[in-house]
Chain A
Amino acid sequence: MVFRTFAFGLVTAIPLALAGAATTDAYELVIPSLDYRTGPYAPNGIPVANGFADYMTLLNERDGGINGTPIKLVACETAYNTQQGVECYENTKGTEPSGALVYNPLSTGITYQLIPKAEVDQIPILSMGYGRTSAANGSVFPYIFNFPATYWDQASVFIKYIGEQEGGMDALKGKKIALVYHNSAYGKEPIRTLEELSKKHGFEFLALPVDHPGQEQKATWLQIRREQPDWVMMWGWGVMNQVAIKEAASIRFPMDRFIGVWWSGSENDVVPTGADANGYKSGTFHAPGSDFPLHADIKTHVYDKGKGAGEEGRIGEVLYNRGVIQAVYVTEAIRKAMDIHGTNEVRGVHVRDGLEALDLTEDRLAELGLPAFTIPVAITCANHTGPGKVALQQWDAEAQKWSLISDFMEADREVVDALIKEDSEAYAKENNITPRECPSS
C-alpha cells in the first residue's frame, strides 16, 4: 500500500517537476542570483544575497524596474558547492523572457567553471573582487569582469599600507609578513603577488595554509607564535575567519597588525571574539554602515511593505552592503546596455557591452543614494578591473562598528599588471585564444 501511494506520487510528481516555469508576455530582465543560504559558508552568503535581492526589489517597487522594465530575480541555491552551482547555471541561463543577463557566481570554484562557458553562451560574468584575477585583461577574457579591484591589487595595497605604518617602503626590509590562507584556489591567489613584492621590498614572506573549512588552526597559530611575524594577513572565508581571529587573540597577536582580505572583514567574523577582536583590520572597496540615503529607501520601499529578504536590523552590515553594491553594478550595466543598444529588451550579449562601457561616477553614485560609498568605476575594453583601489577598515569592538581608516589606495601597478599579463597570456595560450584588439585609450 505504501508503495502504491509512493509510486503514484512519483509518477504525478515527475511531469509537474519537468514542466518549466510559465511564460509571461511582458518583457522582464532576468537576473539570476546564485545564493548560498545553506552549507558551511551560509552565514556569509545570506547577507550578500539579502542585499542583492533587496536592491532589486527596491528598483521594482520604487521605479518599476530598470528604465521601467521590471526585474525578475531568479534565486538558485548553490550551497557554495561547484556541482550545484553548475546545475543552477544550466537551469537558469535560459529563463524566459530575456535569458540570464549576467551571473555573479559568488564562489571562486563556480567562477572558474563558468569562465569558459560565458563566451559560448554569451552571458557575461561579474565576479566582483574575486574569481580569476587575470580576467582583468579584457582582451583575453571579453565576457569576464572583476572590478572594482582584484586580490592581487589588494595584496599589493596591504603591503603598501604596512609600509606606510612602518615608516616607508624601505622600512619593510627584513620585516616578516605571514599570510594565513584558505587552502584552495581562492586562498592561493595572492601568493604569487606577495612573493614578487617580497623580492622587490626585501621582506620575508611566510605562507601558512589552512584546510577547508578552517575550524582547526591551532598548529598554524603556534607556528605564528614561534616565527613572530611583524604582520599577519589572512585570505579566509566562512568559519575560518572567526577561528583565526580567536586564535590570534589567544596567542595575543596584536590585532592592529592583523589584516584580512575583504571576505574576512564582516560583523560575522569579529563579533564571536568579543572585545579581543578590537582593532582588527580588513580590506574593503565600499563603506560600511546603514546611514546612506539608499538604505533609507530600502527601508521605506522594501521592508515597510514587508518585502525584505532578511531582517531589517541587519541592513548596513558589511556583507549586506557588498550585496547592494553588486546589485548596483549589475543594474547600472544593464541601464548602460539599454542606452547603447537603444532598447529595453536587452540580452546577455548587450549587457556585456554595458559592463564594458560602465562609467559609474561619483555623481551617479550620489544620485543612486550612495554618496562617498565607494570609488568611481570606469571599465574599458582592455581593463576589466577598473580602478583597482582598495581601502582598509578597522573593527571597533566597543561600538560594534567597522569604520574606514585609510583612503582608497592604488596598488603597485608595475608588479600587478606584469603578473596579470603573464597569467592571462598563459591562459590564452593553453586554450588557443587569440586576444582581441582593444583600442588604446
Chain B
Amino acid sequence: MFYREVGDFKTSYAADQAIFPIRQDRWFMAILLVVAFVVVPFGVNDYWANAILVPFLVYSLAVIGLNILTGYCGQVSLGTGGFMAVGAYATYKLTTAFPELNFVVVLLMSGFITAGVGVLFGLPSLRIKGFYLAVATLAAQFFLIWLFNKVGWFYNYNATGQITMPTRELFGIAVTGAGTSPVVKYLFCLTIVALFAWVAKNLVRGRFGRTWMAIRDMDIAAELIGVRPLFAKLSAFAVSSFYVGLAGALHFSVWFGAIEVTEAYSINVSFLVLFMVIIGGLGSILGSFLGAAFLVLMPILLKNFMTEGLGMLAVTAKHTEILLMGVLIIFFLIVEPHGFARLWQIAKEKLRLWPFPY
C-alpha cells in the first residue's frame, strides 16, 4: 500500500537507471543517511564508537570488498586478513615515512598498494578455480602475515613488532591517535564507507560488474561472448583488494591504533569476513552491511543483554553467546540460504502486494 512503484513514472533514461528506482526507497535512503550523519553523532560516546559503530563500518567495507570478489566475480578468497594487513602496514609505513602527507592520501595510497598486491595474488585465478583458488589465496594469507612478522623493515625495527599509529590530523582535527573524539572517528569512517559503498554499487551495476557476473555465472560462456577473463578477474581482485586494504587501514589507524599482525589479521579474520559475506548475501552491497551488522553487533547485543539484562556471570554469558551465535547462523541459513539480502528482497516483494496478496 505504501511501498509500490505504481505512479512512479520514469520519463528519462537517467531516471530509469537510477540506483533506487522506487521513490520510497530513495526517501528511505535519504532519511537513513541524514540519521547516520546528523542524528547519530549526538549519541556517540567512546563505547558506541570503539566497540560498535566503527567496527561495524570497518567490517562493512571489508565485506563489500570480499563480496565484489566472491559474490560478484565468483572467486573464493581466504586471503582477506592478509590483504587487510597489507593496508594496515602500508598506512603505517607511509605515515611514518612521510608524516606531512595528508592522511586521506595515505589511506588511498594504502588501498592502491593493496590492490597491487591483490592483483599479484590474483594471477593464479586465471588457471585455478573454486576450492583450489581458495587454497592459493590461503597461501597469500599465511605468507603476508609471516612477512610482516618476520621482516623488521615493516615495523620500523621496533622491539616488539607491534605497529602504533601516531596522531594524524585532518583540517586541524585529530582523526587517529588516543585523543581522537569518538564522533570524529565515527564520522570519518562513515564518510569513507558511504562514499565507497556508493562507488561499489555503481561499479557492480556498470560494465565492470556485468563482466564480473558473466565470469561468475559461467566463465567459458563469458569468454565466448567476448569477456576477457584476464581483465575481468584481475580487475575484480584489484577492486576487491582496494576495499579490503582500505578497511585494514581504517582498522589499524582509526579503530585500534596499535596492531599485532599475528592476532589482528589472522586466518580467523578471513573466515569472519567470508561468513559475513555468506550470511549477508553473496552479490549484494546491502547484504554486506547486513552481514557485518549481524556478526559484529549480535554478539555484543547478546552479551550485554545476558550480563546486564539477565545478570549472568561474564563467562557463562560468553559460552551462551558462542552457542546462540551458532544457532542463529544455522537458523538464518536454513530459513534463507541466500542470506539477509534475499530476505530483505522477499520482504520488499511482499510489501508491494500488501495488503492484497493474490
Contacts and interface: CB of A to CB of B under 8 A. Distances in A.
B47 A17 contact: no
A72 to B, nearest CB: 14
A185 B162 contact: yes
A86 B50 contact: yes
A217 to B, nearest CB: 16
Contacts of A117: 178
A310 to B, nearest CB: 11
Interface of B (DSSP majority class): helix
Given A13-B301, A117-B178, A192-B159, A38 B309 contact: no
Given A17-B304, A17-B309, A37-B315, A87 B51 contact: yes
A170 B134 CA distance: 55
Given A38-B315, A75-B314, A113-B257, A87 B159 contact: no
B166 A77 contact: no
Interface in A416-433: 423, 426, 430-432
A91 B308 CA distance: 11
A119 interface: yes
B127 interface: no
Interface stretch (A18-26, A63-71, A280-288, A351-359): A18-26
Contacts of A191: 159
B7 interface: no
Contacts of A109: 260, 263
Most A Cβ at <10 Å: residue of B51, B158, B314, B319 = B314
A211 interface: yes
A79 to B, nearest CB: 7
Contacts of A211: 262
A116 B149 contact: no
B139 to A, nearest CB: 16
B155 to A, nearest CB: 10
Given A76-B314, A112-B162, A185-B160, A38 B319 contact: yes
A193 to B, nearest CB: 9
A184 to B, nearest CB: 6
B318 A79 contact: yes
Interface string B236-249: 00000000000000
Interface string B149-171: 10000000011111010110000
Interface in B302-347: 302-305, 308-309, 313-315, 317-319, 322, 335
Contacts of A186: 160
A91 B315 contact: no
Contacts of A91: 47, 51, 304
Contacts of A20: 308
B256 interface: yes
Contacts of B322: 38
Contacts of B160: 108, 112, 132, 185-186, 188-189
A212 interface: yes
A354 B79 CA distance: 48
A120 B185 CA distance: 16
Given A86-B51, A188-B159, A189-B160, A116 B256 contact: no
Interface size of B as a range: 35 or more
A155 B145 CA distance: 27
A220 interface: no
B312 to A, nearest CB: 11
Contact of B167 (A81, A86, A431): A431
Contact of A116 (B161, B178, B262): B178
Contacts of B263: 81-82, 109, 184, 212
Contact of B308 (A2, A21, A79, A133): A21
A112 B159 CA distance: 13
Nearest to A91: B47
A13 B305 contact: yes
A3 to B, nearest CB: 8
A6 B121 CA distance: 43
Residue of B55, B303, B315 contacting most chain A CB atoms (<10 Å): B315
B258 interface: yes
B22 to A, nearest CB: 23
A431 B149 CA distance: 23
B262 A184 contact: yes
A35 B47 CA distance: 19
Given A21-B308, A113-B258, A120-B178, A77 B301 contact: no
B314 A113 contact: no
B46 interface: yes
Interface string B273-313: 00000000000000000000000000011111100110001
A38 to B, nearest CB: 5
B308 A17 contact: yes
Contact of B301 (A14, A19, A423): A14
B46 A90 contact: yes
Given A430-B164, A432-B167, A87 B300 contact: yes
14 contacts: A13-B309, A35-B314, A77-B303, A77-B315, A79-B318, A81-B263, A82-B263, A86-B256, A91-B51, A93-B46, A112-B160, A112-B260, A185-B160, A191-B159
Q: Give the 9 A-B CB pairs with smallest separation, nearest first.
A: A116-B178, A17-B305, A185-B160, A37-B315, A87-B51, A90-B47, A77-B318, A75-B314, A16-B309
Given A81-B263, A82-B256, A185-B162, 13 more contacts: A13-B301, A14-B301, A17-B309, A35-B314, A38-B315, A90-B50, A91-B47, A109-B260, A113-B257, A116-B258, A120-B179, A211-B262, A212-B263
